[in-house]
Amino acid sequence: MTIAAQMTDAELDRLSVNTIRTLSIDAVERAKSGHPGTPMALAPLVYTLWNRVMHFDPLDPIWPNRDRFVLSNGHASMLLWSVLHLTGTCAVNAEYERLGQPSVSLDDIRRFRQIGSRAPGHPEYHWVSGVETTTGPLGQGTATSVGMAIARKWLAARYNRPGFEIFDYDIYTVCGDGCLMEGVASEAASLAGHLGLDNLCWIYDNNHITIEGQTNLAFTEDVAARFMGYGWNVLRVGDANDCDRIQEALAVFRKTKGRPTLLILDTHIGYGSPNKQDTAAAHGEPLGEEEVRLAKRSYGWPEDAQFLVPDGVREHFAAGVGARGAAARGSWTALLASYRSAYPELAREIDQMQRRDLPEGWDRNLPVFPADAKGVAGRDASGKVLNVLAQNIPWFLGGSADLGPSNKTTLKYEGAGSFQAGTPTGKNLHFGIREHAMAAAVNGLSLSKVRAFGATFFIFSDYARPAIRLSALMELPSIFVFTHDAMGDGEDGPTHQPVEHLASLRAMPGLITLRPGDANEVVEAYRYVMQLRHQPAVLALSRQPLPTLDRRIYAPATGVARGAYVLADAPGGNPEVILIASGSELSLAVEAHGKLVAEGIRSRVVSMPSWEIFEQQTREYRDGVLPPAVKARLAVEQASTFGWERYVGPSGAVIGMETFGASAPLKELQKKFGFQPDRVVAAAKTLLGKA
């Protein structure tokens, strides 16, 4: 009989908790980098949550009805690497194949924060199976978890039937003082309280320490009162080492209806010298050899042992979360099989959604806009497309940061409805004036395999940017719809006129940015975006009407799928000057092209709605659109000129914005800043030496 077999459950609990602690200590110490304090303090919580409470099957970490665990204070990542290793969580690849190998090995933990290790410095969704979302920027995890909770509510409302609780999982989010100081967490908490997301539990590590020292330097609010004001249920456990009390509190959460839960956990790290413990907790410093010995001694641990996993610990997790998760997944799989017989169409939807596939006929009835000199605003064309897509794709939904009527993102077809606490089947999400939380919630929806969009004015992409960046980092197909993309709102002035935003988003790796030039390009932009499985997309759309080009004269809008295409060419080809434009300036380039051709100047117009898509094309295609021999190139865009030198070259020019805008009617602004056909013609002639 092994020593572990002779232990009581309480002794095995303590041994498992201390294994999490010491793995964290050793990993940080070897890496000479990281945060040992928080993992040491929260080990009892994470142990209790995973081994006693959560429904999670380590053998199938993408089982759709699993409980979700989000570590918003992602600097404590060793908590997650330890528990993923000890539970034997298995790896899954990008094609959703179970690989049969550990998600996080002990060797990964030994190489914590090193190149190639599956134990990076912060949780990374696309890199390590068992990570539900990438965290690190404080507050992002909390806000993303609200999107996850919305998704679960919506999924249950659409797919559950009497006797078939296909979706009934919970979301557990661990956060710290830093998360709750960040504005995004406040936005998200307010929204979650309004929506009554009773499947959401935030667990607040109330340790009173940040990098600068005690939190009373800057954070003295009554957090409990604040969350009660948001409409949350607030619980408190005063001893973070009491696993039984933590389990009881989590049981209260699961029984609470109509309100999300905040569990305040009062933590304090007890080892070594108090000054050292505060430093390690806040600053992310290794403890040092002597402090490591003191900490291990306090746990009754062999002081010289490193990366020790005692006999019985893995087996204890297997008997807890392993057995419970396997049983829950087995029951769910059997339930789904019966559901598939009773509701085959709904089951097919679930299968397609989980694979990020699209239903057959998803793009049927997309509008085709006739040629029209007056034209259609990009936002209006977008609204028509969204209403078609939402009817064709059952799990496609979204909303705006209080700008639905202006963004034209409201889904108006019969039965669309609004997602609220009492109507969780609604497909119109109302995020309120909370752009930051909206973008993070869209990521949470996408992580839940729902296809989601969020919308606001392009200028306010600044507020959404951190979550957009994380969508690119996580390789999620989140969709961000931004209207009022240039100076079309005229009189509102420079505070509402985006200048540097296109360049900023184009600089973001992995993000597709599209600025379509007429209504049919808007349609094709959505057609492209909806087929993305591992990339987020931004659509920048006009407020004002843009002429709808006659595609019998000009190239078809399907060229959008190549990022850039030859829209109009000189008679017989062989251009001597190339005009490149996107968005509202495309029609301006077309008009200038007509004037140039009339004067015998061989002009070509290239519509370039997306740099990123164009860069994915073959060199042959790109050279066909922008022949290297043609040095006279002129780009026209109501935005910063930054980056356009890539396409116009050293001999080309750009008509763009070198300053902020101004408050005036649109036509006056176009005149002031040179966005007029004659200016384009004159600039093209100058490039050719024909001024």
The count of structural domains within the chain is 3
pLDDT band for 626, please (50, 70, 90 cuts): very high
Instruction: Supply the DSSP symbol for 203.
Output: E
Nearest by Cα to 490 from 418, 584, 396:
584
CB 256 within 8 A of CB 283: no
Answer yes or no: do 35 and 152 share one domain.
Answer: yes
Q: How many CB atoms lie within 10 A of CB 355?
A: 12
Catalytic residue among 435, 521, 524, 576: 435
How crowded is the C-beta side of 407, counted as CA atoms within 13 Å? 28
What's the domain range around 381?
Answer: 372-547
Mean per-residue pLDDT, 487-512? 95
Q: Is the pLDDT of residue 8 over 50?
A: yes
Position 675 in a domain: yes
pLDDT at 164 (0 to 100): 98
Query: How many of the other CB atoms lie within 10 Å of CB of 70?
Result: 27
> Of 298, 329, 360, which marks where a domain is finished?
329
Q: Assign residue 635 the CATH number of its domain.
A: 3.40.50.920
CA distance 638 to 670: 9
The reply to whether 155 and 202 lie within a common domain is yes
What pLDDT does residue 3 have? 60
Residues 313 and 251 in one domain: yes
Q: Answer whether residue 211 shows pLDDT above 60.
A: yes
Answer yes or no: do 51 and 116 share one domain: yes
3-state secondary structure of 257: coil
Question: pLDDT per residue over 151-191, tens digit each?
Answer: 999 999 999 999 999 999 999 999 999 999 999 999 999 99
- What's the length of the chain? 691
Does residue 547 sit in helix, strand or coil? strand
Q: How would residue 386 be classed by pLDDT, with cut points 50, 70 and 90? A: very high
Q: Report the share of the chain in percent with pLDDT over 70.
A: 97
Query: Using one digit for the tens of pLDDT, what is the confidence trace for 18-69?
Result: 999 999 999 999 999 998 999 999 999 999 999 999 999 999 999 999 999 9
Cβ-count burial of 222 within 10 angstroms (0-12 exposed, 13-18 middle, 19+ buried)?
exposed
Do 487 and 579 lie in one domain? The reply is no
Answer whether residue 331 shows pLDDT above 50.
yes
The pTM of the full predicted model, rounded to 2 decimals, is 0.96
For residue range 578-595, list pLDDT tens digits in order.
999 999 999 999 999 999
**pLDDT score of 497 more than 50:** yes
Q: Is the dihedral of CA 332, 335, 341, 346 positive or negative?
A: negative
pLDDT greater than 80 at residue 210: no
Residue range 403-426, pLDDT digits in tens: 999 999 999 999 999 999 999 999
Residue 142 lies in a domain: yes
Q: Which of 91-105, 214-228, 322-336 has the highest mean pLDDT?
A: 322-336
Residues 6+ apart with CB under 8 A from 285: 279
Please check whether residue 26 is in contact with residue 7, taking contact to mean a CB–CB distance below 8 angstroms. no
- Helix and strand numbers, DSSP H then E, in the chain: 26, 22
**Residue 187 annotated among the catalytic residues of the structure:** no
Residue 316 shares a structural domain with residue 412: no
Same domain, 532 and 581: no
Is 160 inside a domain boundary? Answer: yes
Structure tokens at 126: 């696309």
Co-location of 527 and 569 in the same domain: no
- For residues 539 and 659, what is the distance between their CA atoms, to the nearest angstrom? 23
Locate tokens 């109509």: which residue? 258
**Whether 370 contacts 557, CB under 8 Å:** no
Percent of the chain with pLDDT over 90: 91
Asked which of 477, 512, 547 is the last residue of a domain, the reply is 547
CB 42 within 8 A of CB 205: yes
DSSP letter for 460, please.
G
Rounded to an integer, what distance in angstroms lies between the CA atom of residue 96 and that of residue 562? 28
User: Looking at the structure, do residues 472 and 431 belong to the same domain, yes or no?
Assistant: yes
The pLDDT confidence band at residue 273, using thresholds 50, 70 and 90, is very low
- Look at residues 404, 370, 366, 381 and name the one whose alpha carbon lies nearest to residue 583: 381
Question: Over 60: is that where the pLDDT of 642 sits?
Answer: yes
Q: Are 15 and 310 in contact (CB under 8 A)?
A: yes
Task: Assess if residue 349 is contained within a domain.
Answer: no
Which tokens hold the place of 172?
Answer: 């557990």
CA distance 81 to 36: 13
- Residue 253 belongs to what H/E stretch? helix 243-255
73 assigned to some structural domain: yes
Asked if residue 360 belongs to a domain, the reply is: no
Residue 358 domain-assigned (yes or no) = no
Among the three residues 487, 515, 547, which one is the final residue of a domain in this structure?
547
Same domain, 562 and 523: no
Q: Please indicate, yes or no, if residue 351 is contained in any of the structural domains.
A: no
Q: Let me know whether 159 and 74 are in one domain.
A: yes
179 and 62 in one domain? yes
User: In angstroms, rounded to a whole number, what is the distance separating the alpha carbons of residues 202 and 646?
Assistant: 46
Question: Which pLDDT band, with edges at 50, 70 and 90, does 4 fall under?
Answer: low
pLDDT band for 272, please (50, 70, 90 cuts). Answer: very low
Running DSSP on this structure, what letter comes out for residue 390?
H
CATH code, domain with 436: 3.40.50.970
Largest CA distance in the chain: 97
Q: Is the pLDDT of residue 128 over 70?
A: yes
Q: Other C-beta atoms within 10 Å of 388: how many?
A: 18
**How far is Cα 343 from Cα 353, in angstroms, rounded to an integer?**
16
Cα(596)–Cα(375) distance, integer angstroms: 23
The pLDDT mean for the chain works out to 95
